[in-house]
Every structure is written in C-alpha cells, then in structure tokens.
Structure 1
Amino acid sequence: MPGAAFASCFAASKRGGTVNPTGSPSAPGAHAGARGILCLLRVAAGHGGPGTPSQCPVLGVVRAQLTGMLTSPISSAGFVVGHAGLYQALAMFAVAYFIIGMTVLSVCAIATNGALDAGGAYYMISRALGPEFGGSIGIMFFLANVCGSALYVLGLVEAVVDSFGQKAGTGVHVLPQSYWYELLYGTVLLALCLLVCLVGASIYAKATFLIFLIVAGVLGTILVSFFATRPIGVPIRLPRFNGSEIENGSFTGFSLATLRDNLGGGYAVDYTTGQMMSFSSVFAVMFNGCTGIMAGSNMSGDLKRPSYSIPRGTISAVLFTYLVYNLLAFLMCATCNRTLLQKDYGFLRDISIFPPLVTVGIYAATLSAAMSNLIGASRILYALARDDLFGRALALAKKTSASGNPVMAVILSWLVVQLVLFSGKLNTIAGVVTTFFLLVYATVNLACLALEWASAPNFRYLPTFRYFTWHTCLLGIAGCCVMMFLISPVSASASLGFLLILLLALHYLSPSSTWGYISQALIFHQVSPYLLMLDVRKDHVKFWRPQMLLMVQNPRGSARLIDFVNDLKKSGLYVLGHVELQDLDTLPSDPLQPQQDSWLSLVDKLNVKAFVSLTLAPSVRHGVRQLLFTSGLGGMRPNTLVLGFYDDEAPQDGLARHPAFTSAREEVPLGFPPLRAPATPKLLSPREYVGIVADALKMLRNVLLARQLESLDKAWELRRAASPPPTIHVWPVNLLRPDSARYADTCSLFLLQMACVLNMARAWRRARLRLFLCVEAGAMPHAQEEKLRQLLKDLRIQAQIQLVPWDAVTPEEEEEEEGAVNFPANTTQVSDEYVCAANKLVLEQSPAPAVRFLYLPRPPADTSLYPLYLHQLELLTRGLGPTVLVHGVSAVTSTQL
C-alpha cells in the first residue's frame, strides 16, 4: 500500500475509530508506492524537454526504483502474512515477482535496442507498436499518473487529518475536518507540488538523495527494531456497534512457537472494511505494491546510456525489494502474533526504536510520490503533444520555458489532478490507477513480443540483453491481464473499453507517423513463408482465379477501368502496371521512385486492392513484356493482361469526376500529368498495340481489351430498390468468324467465366447474365439451346439464353471464300460491311446492358495485317458502350468436384 495509506493506518491504530477503507491496504488503492521519485525529479529539473541528457549512473536508477518500491514491503508485508501465513505469503511474493520480472525483461529488452527519448513506457510503446497503440496507451499512462498524484495527495491529507484533526486526531487537535477543509488541505499540498515543478525543481532534485536516505532509514530502523525491541504487548482498540473494544496484540521477539503459529493461513475479516479476506483479495493487495517498476525507464530522457543503466538498475531494484519482502515476512512471522498482524496494520511504529522516523519517512515518501506523478504526467503530456498525435487538442502543452521545462504541460497536468481531487474517493481512484498501470505494463510486453515475432534485423538483443524470449513476453501479458481482473474486474473492463475507443479514434483521425509500423513487419514475417508455400506446380483448374495486370498510361483517363478490374479480379492478384519511356543510362537517378507515392495514394483513394508495378523501357511493348515476366511473386503472378482499347476518342478525365475525389475538399492532383490533347500523337502505334496482345498470348496470358469503360454508369448501385437490375450481355462466339458458332472452346469458356466472376462481385450481384446463342436456319435451334443450357448447368452458371438469328449477318461473298474463313487466325478476310452488320446485331439487342463481353479473336500471324485487325475490332465495338473483348488461352472451368 502507498505511504499515505500506511501513515493513515498508523494514525488510525492509535485512535479509537475506524480506519477509512480508502487508507487501508485492502483498498484497491494500495498500489505501487512512490513511483520513480529520483528520475522524475531529475526530469523536473529541466531535462525532460529539449536539451542535453544528463549523465545518470546505474545507482540513480536503483535509487529511483527503491524509493518507490521500498514503501510497499514496509507497509503491506504485515497485512499479507497476517492473513495468508508465511508459506502462502512466500508463494504470493514468488508469483507476483515472477509476473513483474517478465515485464522487467521486456522493458530491458526494448531499452537496449535503440535510443530512448523522454516519455518512458509511452515512448517505447509508440515507437514499437505505432501511433494508435502509443497514443492510446500514452493517454492512459498520463491519466494513471494524474490519478496516482491525486491518490497520494488524498492519502496524505487523510493521514495528516487522522493525526491532527479536531474530531479524530491522536496528536494536537488543530485541523478542522470536513469535505471542504480536506479539499483545501489537498489543494495546498498540490499547489506546493506545482510550485516545486515550476520553480524549485532543481532544489528538489538535489534533495532526492536525502529522501532516499529517509526511506532507507525507515527500513533500517524497522529491521533493527525486530532485534532490539523487547517483547511487549500492544493494546488495540477496535470499533464496535456499542462503542469500542480493546484487544491485546503481542510482539514476542523471536519465538519458535510464534513462527509455528504463523506458518499457515488464517484469513479473517479485515477490520478496516468489514470484508472477509481470501487468497485472491490478499494477493491483489500485495501485488498492488509491486507495480512501481517503470521508475527507471521513465528516466530514459535523462540517461546518457539508458541501454546500460536501465537493465542493471531496474533488475537490481526488483531483486532487492523481493528479498526485503521475504525478509520482513519471515521476521514478522517469527516475532508478532497473528492478532497483532491482523488487527493493527500500523504495528511497526509501535515496535520501532524511533517511531517518529517512520511517520516522517512515510509522509515524505508520499509527498514525493505525489510530486513525481505530477511531473511524470506532465512529461507524458508533453511527449504526446510533441508527437502531434492529437493535433490542436494538445498544442498548448508543447510550450516550454527557456530551460526546456514544459511549463504548460505541468500546469495542465496540475489542473487535471485538481479536478480529480474534487472526487475525494480514494477507492475509485485507486482501482483506476492500478488497472491503468497494469494495462501499460501488458502493452510493454506486447510491444516486445511484436518486435521479437517480427524478427526485424534492427531489433537486436544479443549480446546487449539476452535474458528474454517471446515466452517471457507472453507470460508477462497473461500475468498483467489476470492481475487486472483479479484486482478490480470492473476497472479492468472499463480500462480495456476505454483503450479500444482510443485505438479506433487514433486509427481513423491521427496523421501518419514516421516511426514505422510494427504491423507491417509482422505481416511481412507471416506472409513470406506462405508465399513460398504457393507452388505453381500444384495449381489446379478447380481453384483458378483471375490475376490481373492492368496497364495504365495515365490514371486520369482510367479511373473507371481501374474500378471495374477491381470488381473482376475475384480476390486474386491485381497489379497496376505503368511504363515510363526513358533510358536509365541517361538519367542521374531513378525517376520512378518519386512517382511511387502518387500511385499508392491513388490506390488508397480509389479503395482498390491492387499492387503497383512501374518500369522503365525504350518502348511500351518492351515495358509490358518486362511486367508480364517480372510482376508478382512465386505463385502469385498475373495470368491475365488488361488493356484499354486503342481508338481515336479524346481521353476524358475520369479521375476528376470519380466519387472518391469529387467528395474530397482538396483537388485531385496526385502528381500525374494532364491528359493527352486530341491532336497530340500517341506514344503507341497500332502495330505495337496489337503486338502487345500477340506477345501476351504467346506467353500464355489471357487478354482483355476494355473499351469505353469510362462511360460505365454505376448509378444503379445507389438506387438498388428503385431501379431494375442491370444486365450483362455475353457473346461467347467469334463474331469475326462467320463459319464459327461453337460455344465450348477454351476462349468461349473463359469469356463465360469472366462474366460469371463479375456477377459474383458485391457491386454486380443484382445484375443478370444474358447469354446470346447465334443460330442458323435449319440448324435445330432448340437442340442447340438445350445443349447450351446443359453446359451452363454443368458450369453452375445462372444465365438467361436468348436466340439470335445468324443468317442475316453472314454475307454471301464470305461464304464462297472457304479457304480464307477456314484459316484459324484469319479474321482480316471479312469485309467491313460484315463487321458493321455484326455490330448492328449486337447493338439491337435490348435493353441496353451495363457492360458487354465479346469474343476477342487471335491476332493474325502476318504482322502487316495488325492495323486492319485493329480496325475491324474498332468497327465491331463502335457505339456499344462499355465493352470487354476477351481471349482466353487456358482452361479455367471445371464440371467436377
């Protein structure tokens, strides 16, 4: 329990009243002791802000830890052994310090792996886990210190009033007692702390060694008293309903009989609260006094060599207090009977050879703890403001004095502590303080665990600090979480809820940071083994999915197309490719690096799940080849190339009209050049464009040519109930081959698969597939329809079949040229009139669909016919609206399980 509560118990044990439950060790407020007095006083001296770190040796860290942690064994050991007995008390100490030890190992591991700045645990967590965790834990750490300062002030006021109050004092009865008077006393003490923090911090820093000597002197006096004090009886006045009753406790000196009586547990009713004690309740009180382990790490901004001082100082202090706990437990069990241990928590003053020193030491340590928590809160607030996680909300806390002391952060922290003092309820404050600190410690373990699991090369723990593994981190997290709920389930649940709210708020509202994100390292560490497990030799048609490479010249004219392909990829790989026509030999540096951020910002803005792959090449065709060969990784490589259509239409800035940008206040420019003017020559010739298609087919890549996708209107998606469902027209027949009416070749099945995949996307689920069956006279259309319907059933594709007469389109002159039409890739032998008739046939099918899928024939083998081939494709798709020409080269459908 804190020094204030201990002093309160001393006073209460001498007067004839009940000790206030908030001053008892059984209250949840019995926690931590004076935290980090020496280190925070050094921070208060002006080293917490900008400036040169002071050279603080390991002894300084030890003093900081011991000043805060020695008060708890002195004050709560008697309570623990009185109820639990020596055996169970030793077991409690071992379990508690095991949990604390795991956290200490994590603190030391992080402290030895990089330069630390002011902020202690906040700085460690924010730099390890990122701004969301860092900011939320920083706020909770700030509130824990604020409430801790108020806790110590209220406890000290209670102890002073118990000793010198007019109603219940055991000394000089001079202090009036009421809520407002006690609030006044607390305000005066807090104002003294504020004055020292603002003006006299350097003087107080010089006095920290004296405070440490006082606390150590109290411990030394108590240890000597066990040997020097003769056996005495200690009268104990206990309150009853009809008055009071006096019981006699005994200090027997060293006695084997006394030790034997105190070996086992003897849980009884706590005389300060009237509650029955148990193993869990006593353990919770004892554990509260072990949580002052961050004092050394809070000195991170003031240490010249934190990686050297923090591990040695923190571990030494924790081990020393553990030994003190065990030593005091043994001495108490061997010299004090159970009545004295259970009925008088302030018995150490009665048996001390110099009782005033105990009182003075506890009072001084409690006041120092209040001040150190105030300074610690101000430094955390200053660090949060300096990191700019909360924007203008904490801008005022950035202001510092000429010496670097964050005076505005101190004043704001003092104001919040003053507001907490108005509650006057120690029990409520104490539960919040304990759970907040334990949550901070659990997050420190989580930060260390994340760094260890990420296996980043820059997180090196050998040979600087080698005494931790991910097992110790997990044990620390589990121990802290269990103790949170064991001490106060309500406070623990509320703290976790508050943490979750802060995490979500910072995730959506805070600006991006330059600290690095541990999530990226963890994702990389987990993904890379799975990528290695993707074996292309184990691919099977049943598990095929589209993996798209969309070539984009300028995103301003391709925004709708980028959206459309995102719907078409069906959770597969999606890569946005771009070719920059430059020669690296003539450039001073890589011109693609500055463009990378613009492309990634575009992906974020459009909310598409795509990678970006940029390349330099002397021509577009060479660049596309490079991307087809090199894009992707392992089993995740593009199997489908998507190109915009080559025509003479003027490009339109779809990016400026895209909802992702029209709803934003800022303008669109992401570093992309303006669109090409209509009179400007293209970077790509028709022959080179068709050559890209031919190259992709030679490399066994499927090809999609998208025309007029920028005119795709998805307004029907916003008025789902009012509008009829859109349709997707599918023409799985080669319209440039009049003699062909087959629907079961590889290309037709691939076309059907792509239409079906689009229909499975969330935005297209209301759409209806309409499949067109071209029939000739005398060809038994009903039999063909039934055959096609059976194929769709086998492929599990739901589509409406519509018969279309084919004879009116096939020109007589093409029928006579059997040699021309029978050549597999010869699509250039049909006349323009035939192609226009086929275009008219497609256009006459009503109602107009949202998008059409047409069969893309293979380019001719003669490269001189490439321009004519492209001309026929332009005639075929002219005026059709959003259209996708599809050519597949691999089997993608399966009728078997």
Structure 2
Amino acid sequence: MISLRIGRRDPLPQRERHKLGAFIGVFTPSILTILGVIMYLRFGWVVGNVGLVGALVIVVIANLITLITALSVSAVASNMDVGVGGAYYLISRSLGLEIGAAIGLPLYLSQALSVTLYSFGLAESLRIVWPEVPLQPTTLVVIFAVTLLSTRGASIALRSQLPVMAAIGLSLAVFFVGGSSGGHVPGSFLDVGGPLGFWAVFAVFFPAVTGIMAGVSLSGDLRDPQKSIARGIIAAVLVGFAVYLLVPIVLAFNADRESLIRDSLVWTKIAIWPALIFPGLWGAILSSAVGSILGAPRTLQALAMDRVAPRFLGRASARGAGPLAAILFSGAIAMAAVGLGNLNAVARVLTMFFLTTYGMINLVAGLEKLVGDPSYRPTFNIPWWVSFAGAFGCLAAMWLMHPLACVAAIVIELSLWLALRRRAVKATWGDLRRGLWMAGLRYALIRLKGTPEDPRNWRPNILVFAGEVERRPELVRFASWFSQNRGIVTVCDLIEGDLVEGDIAIDERREQMNQFLDVRGYLAFGEVHVVHDFEDGVVSVSQANGIAGVASNTLMFGWSRDHERMASYFRIMRQVSRLHKSMILLRHNPRNMLARTKHIDIWWGGLQQNGDLMLLLAHLLSLNHEWSNAKITIKSIASNELVQAETERRLAVMIPQVRIKAEQKVRLRSDDRPVIDTIHEESRDAEVVFLGLAQPDPGEEAEYAGRLAKMMEGLPTVVLVKNSSMFAGDLV
C-alpha cells in the first residue's frame, strides 16, 4: 500500500499570481462558454420541437439549476483561500482528497477533450462558407493555435477574448433588431408537436448553461478569488439567463416550425445583417475552446500538486505563463483525440462528468451549511436546502439527458474513488467529513438518549487495560472477537506517574498504539492515561470512559503471574461491579489454535449469574471467521443424579430458547476426585475454556488468585468472567 501525504504548496510564480479580476478572470470565460454554439445552431430546433412556452420552461429550469450551482460555488469559495484547481480544489478541500480526485480526474479529461470537440465544431462551421475545408487538419490547427495562445498566460488569452465578446454582442444586436419587425405569429404557444419529447429536447439544450466552471477553473490566477468568483459567475448566469429568455421569443415570432427544426442557420434569415452572425458563431466556438484549454491544465496542475498526477505537471512556467507542462500535455491529449473522429458518443459522458462536478459542488455547500462546523463562516450565504435542490437537479438532469451515460460516469468516478482509497492518499488539510460524522454522531446520541436500555440491545463495549499493547496483542484480538463489530473496543495504556512533572509523551504514545492497532486490523481506539495509583486510576478511567451515555460496560485484563497484581484486579472488580461493569480476565495459552474444528467449553454453575455472559461471549466468538466452525459445549458438574437430571433438563429448555447453537454435558461429581481434575479431563482438548469468577472477600484476593492459578494449570486459553451487568441473568 502506498501512502502519500499532501501539502498546500502553490507553485505559481509571484508575478503571475492573483492578476485577474472578476470581469476578465471569471465573467468573460463563463459568459463566452454560456453563449456558445447551442445558442446559434440549436435554439431554433428547441423552439420548433416544444413551442415557445416549452422552450421558456426549459430555459427557466436549466438556468435555475445553474444559478443554484453558482450560488453554491460562491458560498464555498467565500469560506476558504481558494487555490489552483477551481472546482477540484473546492471539492477536495471539503469532501477529502479521494472524492476530490475521483471527480477531478474525469473533470480534467472532459476539459481536455472539450478542446477537441469545440475545435471540431469550429472546423465544421467553416464549411458553411468553405465547403472543401479539410476537417481533421483544420481541427489540429485550431487546437495548436489555442494551445499556443494559452502558453502566453491566462491574462493575455482572456484579453484576446474581448473582441470575441464584442462579436457575439454585435451578432445578438443584429439578430434582435432584425427580429423586432417580424410578422410571424406562432400558431400555438404550447405547440409541442415536434418529433421529440420535452426531456429529450431539454437534454440537447442543457449543456448550453453549464459553462460557469470555465471561470472557476482559473481560481489560482485571480486577484481575490473569494469575491471574484461570486461576482463573475453570478453575473454571467444572470446575463445568460436574460439572453436566453429573449432569443426563443424572437425565433418564435420570426420563423415557422419547419424552418426552426430543419434550418440550423435560421438566425441568418432573421438578422438585419446576416453576415454578422458568423463572426459571433465562430467566436463563440473558439472562445469555448480557449476556456477549456485554460481550465484543463490548471485542474491537472492542482492534481499534480496533490500528487494524484505526476509532479512535473504541476510546475509553472519560469516566465509566469501558467503550468506550461500541463498546458502542453493537455494540448497533446486534445490533438490525439482528433484521431478518434466522431466524438458525439464520448461527448455525452463528458457532459455527465461536468454535471457530477456541479452536483458535487451543490452537495458540498449544502453539507457545509447543514453540518455547521464553526470554521464554516462564508461571507456569501445560501440555505442548505437550496444547495441540495441544486444537487438533485443536476442528478435528475443527468438521468433525463442519457441514463446510460449517467450510470457510466458514476461508475467510472466510483471506481476512481475506490482505487484512490486503496492507494491511501492522505492530505494534510482538514475537510468536511469529520464535521459530517460529528453531526451524525450527535444526532444518533440524542436519539439514543431517549431510547430505554434493554437486555436485547446490550452489546459488549470493552475497555482493555493492555499496558504496552505491542507485547500483549492477544488481549485486543480476543476483545475484538468478543465485540464482533457490535460493540466498541477501547485499548488503554495506563501509565503511573505525574502528569505535570513527568516527561510523558502522551500524544506520541497514542499515535504508536493506533498505528499498531491499524496494522493488525483491530477495530479499536487507543487511549493513554497518566495516573498516580494503578487501582484508583483504573476505576477513574472506567467511570470517565465513554461519551453521552455510550460507555464501556466490560473491563478486560490479561492474567498475571504476580498474585499481588491479581489481587489488585479483584479489588478493582469489587468497585466496578457497583458501576454495573463486568470483568474479563484472559489467561492466554495458544495451543490447538490451528485446529480445523475448534472447541469452546463453558463451565456452567455457581450462584454468580455469570453463565449468560459467558454463553453470549462464546457465541460472539464463534461468529468470527476464525471460529466459524467452533463447537460450543456447556459443561457442568452435578453433586448427585437428581441435580444432574435437573441441570440437563434446564439446559435442554434454555439452549433452544436462546437460539445459540450449543451442546450440553453434565458430569457427576466423584467423591474421590477433585473438581479441578474433572475440568482438566473434560477441557484438555478445547481451544478456549470459559470459567466464572466469584467475588473474594476483602483481604482474600491474593489467596483466591492462587487457587485460580492452580486450577488453570494445564488448561488451554482460559477466559474468566464476572457478570456485573445491570441485566445479569437476562443477556441471552
């Protein structure tokens, strides 16, 4: 497994950083991508298929989703120091590097291949006036030109777009002037009699309004990204919305349905000067290609800075013209894609990648607001439910546009996420996920508080006092087996000393413990506590352990050959039993552990009510895959035949009732043979033996420990159990 740690370095040279304002850096690339080729060549087709009212409804729905996304982007961006990478940066710094990269890598590929798509579109549109133009060579020339322009820096490339914006504005002006005198009146404003349905037409139109990320992608080149992103993209969305509300009205009142559906150049029939439409059309396509070639390398640069992509791609040009290696690499990908020919099928999936990005941005903004981390203090606020509505709108649009492409995009991104998790890519920044889990935990604890405790819901939350856990891993292994992913295991290293005067590296020790537990695959939490006295320390830690009603209910120790240490355990057991905390002592003797069929013996008897907890722990042990074929046998020793028959009867009734697969065996006590010998004879071939603990009288703890040590001599692994639960006797 490869482990990478990521920092926040910003490699842009000082003279290139923070040069662009909201108009040039955000509004210009965004509006030029929004007012693109679909507006010129497909808007008439939209009106012809669904009628004027249907077209306006499509415009409103599509722009509403885009406006919500713009608001979400603005909110998230106003809460952080936005670096290089645009949408990828915002997502990765909120939802974590794995999710950010799973979205960012397809986003980058979509941006790079969009250069090819727009260049193809420009080459095809040139055939309107030059039918013999060679398609693929012209596409390569366009890609080479926009790539060369982008190497001069974002500022120069975007300022060169101002004449394009003027050409688009002029083409809109001649279109509106020409259409103002139109005499055609639509037969029906609700005329939807075209060959395609509403949502099929919506799918064709929606990519026209998904250009807001063109400006966000240049976040690393902005003078003040927190303010510029919000001002630029919201202005672009509102201007685009206004234009898109006017265009279908002009089209509907100046052309019949047949012309709108079949004539992609219907604009030229309406404009007062048709020739001025073409510069706007070509400029719109070219500006979209420039926006993509500016955005793609910066997304790749951010991925390289986070070591998701090769690091050399994150290096900026020495003369301050942006990430030169990433620009050239992106240009090369775009040129290579020319050989694929028709990219229409690929374009559907690319659109899905853009939409998953927009949906994820909405999700980030909604979660940030809902979780309410104290660090989330955006200067631009939006209600959480509005952002969630935008996320749902993006997902719905993906499905309605093309279900198969939607599923393909999500599967690809999920696969990337799983691959990145396996690489164990780590980031040094905090993100939203911890706050999200904390919010969920708080909600669960509040709900749990109002739920009464009941024996059927009891599960072992084990507090293991293991000392140096590296020397006693078997304690944690058995605790994990007993919890069986149903309880919480906490491993405590109790250090006797002075917290103030002692030189005790608590944080380092805790980190060592957690690393050891993670490497061994134990689902446990490491804790380090400094105490003046061992016994008092154990009792204090036992009382303090837990959070909001979820506390440890079982203490676990390893057996010690030192009888005085064992005596202290029994004195602790007396105190914690008043807290309704049970106790487990493990005497580990790992013989026969490799047997194919393991045997678990439970010695049932006495008046301590330990049997139900022993049976429950044995059952939980058998649920682990290492013990999947284990055979549980409840064994007992009867003083006479009458007691033997009664014990067998009670066990025969109990075992089916508790629904635990177990057998029983009741032996008669022999007058000339000690009980210990009978236990040894019956359990010598078992892998684990469960025995109950009694509470010794004060002052007799060491003597009791000696008797137990003698009884366990020659036995395999022994689990000694004292059931002090408030539900003792009812746990099974």
Q: Is this a same-fold pair by TM over 0.5?
A: yes
- Report the alpha carbon displacement of residue 387 of structure 1 after superposing the two structures with TM: 0.6
Task: Measure the CA separation in 1 of the matches of 2:24 and 2:138.
Answer: 35
Task: List aligned pairs for 1:561-600, cutoff 5 A.
Answer: 561-570=475-484, 571-587=486-502, 591-600=505-514
Q: Which of the residues 563, 568, 572 maps onto 1:688?
A: 568
**Equivalent residue, structure 1, for 2:44:** 78
Cα pair 2:20 2:155 within 8 Å, conserved: no
Given the alignment of the two structures, is residue 301 of structure 1 paired with residue 181 of structure 2, yes or no?
no
**Equivalent residue, structure 1, for 2:361:** 444
Post-superposition CA distance 1:525-561 (Å, at most 9, x none): 1121222333499323343322211111111222122
Deviates more, 1:624-633 or 1:801-810: 801-810
Task: Measure the CA separation in 2 of the matches of 1:636 and 1:60.
Answer: 52
**Equivalent residue, structure 2, for 1:715:** 594
Structure 2: unaligned runs, 5 residues or longer: 1-10
Deviates more, 1:63-72 or 1:84-93: 63-72
State the AA in 1 paired with 2:34. M
* Bigger radius of gyration among the two: 1
Q: Which of the residues 402, 423, 441 maps onto 1:509?
A: 423
Q: Secondary structure at the match of 2:667?
A: strand
**Equivalent residue, structure 1, for 2:166:** 213
- Report the alpha carbon displacement of residue 852 of structure 1 after superposing the two structures with TM: 0.7
Q: Secondary structure at the match of 1:336?
A: coil
Given the alignment of the two structures, is residue 416 of structure 1 paired with residue 344 of structure 2, yes or no?
no
Q: Which of the residues 452, 456, 459 maps onto 2:376?
A: 459
**Equivalent residue, structure 2, for 1:884:** 719
Task: Measure the CA separation in 2 of the matches of 1:48 and 1:446.
Answer: 33
Cα distance change of structure 1 residues 727 and 291 upon mapping to structure 2, 3 Å threshold: same
- Report the alpha carbon displacement of residue 437 of structure 1 after superposing the two structures with TM: 1.3
Cα distance change of structure 1 residues 254 and 627 upon mapping to structure 2, 3 Å threshold: same
- Report the alpha carbon displacement of residue 154 of structure 1 after superposing the two structures with TM: 0.8
**Equivalent residue, structure 2, for 1:854:** 691
Cα distance change of structure 1 residues 891 and 299 upon mapping to structure 2, 3 Å threshold: closer
Cα pair 1:536 1:634 within 8 Å, conserved: no
Task: List aligned pairs for 1:130-529, cutoff 5 A.
Answer: 130-166=96-132, 175=133, 177=134, 182-199=135-152, 203-227=156-180, 253-255=181-183, 258-261=184-187, 263-265=189-191, 267-268=193-194, 276-390=195-309, 394-404=310-320, 405-461=322-378, 464-466=379-381, 468-529=382-443
**Equivalent residue, structure 1, for 2:603:** 731
**Equivalent residue, structure 1, for 2:667:** 804
Task: Measure the CA separation in 2 of the matches of 1:350 and 1:48.
Answer: 50
Q: Which of the residues 745, 752, 755 maps onto 2:618?
A: 755
- Report the alpha carbon displacement of residue 638 of structure 1 after superposing the two structures with TM: 1.6
Cα distance change of structure 1 residues 407 and 455 upon mapping to structure 2, 3 Å threshold: same
Q: Secondary structure at the match of 1:483?
A: helix
Q: Secondary structure at the match of 1:185?
A: helix
Task: Measure the CA separation in 1 of the matches of 2:207 and 2:153.
Answer: 31
Given the alignment of the two structures, is residue 867 of structure 1 paired with residue 730 of structure 2, yes or no?
no
- Report the alpha carbon displacement of residue 397 of structure 1 after superposing the two structures with TM: 1.4
State the AA in 2 paired with 1:701. K
**Equivalent residue, structure 2, for 1:647:** 561
Cα pair 2:34 2:209 within 8 Å, conserved: yes
Task: Measure the CA separation in 2 of the matches of 1:765 and 1:285.
Answer: 56
Task: Measure the CA separation in 1 of the matches of 2:352 and 2:342.
Answer: 16
Q: Secondary structure at the match of 2:691?
A: strand
- Report the alpha carbon displacement of residue 793 of structure 1 after superposing the two structures with TM: 4.7
**Equivalent residue, structure 2, for 1:702:** 582
Task: Measure the CA separation in 2 of the matches of 1:580 and 1:891.
Answer: 30
Cα pair 2:609 2:729 within 8 Å, conserved: no
TM-score (norm 1): 0.75
Cα distance change of structure 1 residues 109 and 203 upon mapping to structure 2, 3 Å threshold: closer
Task: List aligned pairs for 1:652-663, cutoff 5 A.
Answer: none
Q: Secondary structure at the match of 1:746?
A: coil
Cα pair 1:548 1:574 within 8 Å, conserved: yes
**Equivalent residue, structure 2, for 1:66:** 31
Post-superposition CA distance 1:192-231 (Å, at most 9, x none): 222223357664344232222222222223223335xxxx
Cα distance change of structure 1 residues 192 and 788 upon mapping to structure 2, 3 Å threshold: closer
Cα pair 1:132 1:503 within 8 Å, conserved: yes
Cα pair 1:747 1:888 within 8 Å, conserved: yes
Q: Secondary structure at the match of 2:490?
A: strand
Q: Secondary structure at the match of 1:860?
A: coil
Task: Measure the CA separation in 2 of the matches of 1:434 and 1:110.
Answer: 23
Task: Measure the CA separation in 1 of the matches of 2:212 and 2:149.
Answer: 24
Cα pair 1:53 1:304 within 8 Å, conserved: yes
Task: Measure the CA separation in 1 of the matches of 2:568 and 2:512.
Answer: 28
**Equivalent residue, structure 2, for 1:653:** none
Q: Secondary structure at the match of 1:885?
A: strand
Q: Secondary structure at the match of 2:526?
A: strand
Q: Secondary structure at the match of 2:500?
A: helix
Q: Secondary structure at the match of 2:212?
A: coil
- Report the alpha carbon displacement of residue 505 of structure 1 after superposing the two structures with TM: 1.1
> How many aligned positions are there?
719
Cα pair 2:33 2:291 within 8 Å, conserved: no
Cα distance change of structure 1 residues 62 and 727 upon mapping to structure 2, 3 Å threshold: same
Task: Measure the CA separation in 2 of the matches of 1:299 and 1:860.
Answer: 76
Task: Measure the CA separation in 1 of the matches of 2:461 and 2:292.
Answer: 57
State the AA in 1 paired with 2:556. V
Task: Measure the CA separation in 2 of the matches of 1:282 and 1:700.
Answer: 67
Cα pair 1:378 1:406 within 8 Å, conserved: yes
Cα distance change of structure 1 residues 472 and 881 upon mapping to structure 2, 3 Å threshold: same
- Report the alpha carbon displacement of residue 728 of structure 1 after superposing the two structures with TM: 1.0
Cα pair 2:304 2:311 within 8 Å, conserved: yes
Post-superposition CA distance 1:704-762 (Å, at most 9, x none): 111125x265434xxxxxx3x211122224xxxxxxxx4x5423443344334433444
Cα distance change of structure 1 residues 807 and 490 upon mapping to structure 2, 3 Å threshold: closer
Task: List aligned pairs for 1:35-50, cutoff 5 A.
Answer: none
Cα pair 1:640 1:704 within 8 Å, conserved: yes
Cα pair 1:73 1:321 within 8 Å, conserved: no
- Report the alpha carbon displacement of residue 809 of structure 1 after superposing the two structures with TM: 5.9
State the AA in 2 paired with 1:708. H
- Report the alpha carbon displacement of residue 644 of structure 1 after superposing the two structures with TM: 0.4
Cα pair 2:637 2:667 within 8 Å, conserved: yes
Cα pair 2:69 2:362 within 8 Å, conserved: yes
Percent identical pairs in the alignment equals 26
Deviates more, 1:686-695 or 1:624-633: 686-695
Task: List aligned pairs for 1:88-167, cutoff 5 A.
Answer: 88-166=54-132
Deviates more, 1:471-480 or 1:416-425: 471-480
Q: Secondary structure at the match of 1:616?
A: strand
Post-superposition CA distance 1:177-199 (Å, at most 9, x none): 4xxxx322222222222222335
**Equivalent residue, structure 2, for 1:54:** 19
State the AA in 2 paired with 1:54. K
- Report the alpha carbon displacement of residue 280 of structure 1 after superposing the two structures with TM: 2.5
Task: Measure the CA separation in 2 of the matches of 1:476 and 1:457.
Answer: 24
Task: Measure the CA separation in 2 of the matches of 1:776 and 1:429.
Answer: 82
State the AA in 2 paired with 1:158. E
Cα pair 2:352 2:405 within 8 Å, conserved: yes
Cα pair 2:612 2:731 within 8 Å, conserved: no
- Report the alpha carbon displacement of residue 794 of structure 1 after superposing the two structures with TM: 4.8
Deviates more, 1:413-422 or 1:537-546: 537-546
**Equivalent residue, structure 1, for 2:652:** 789
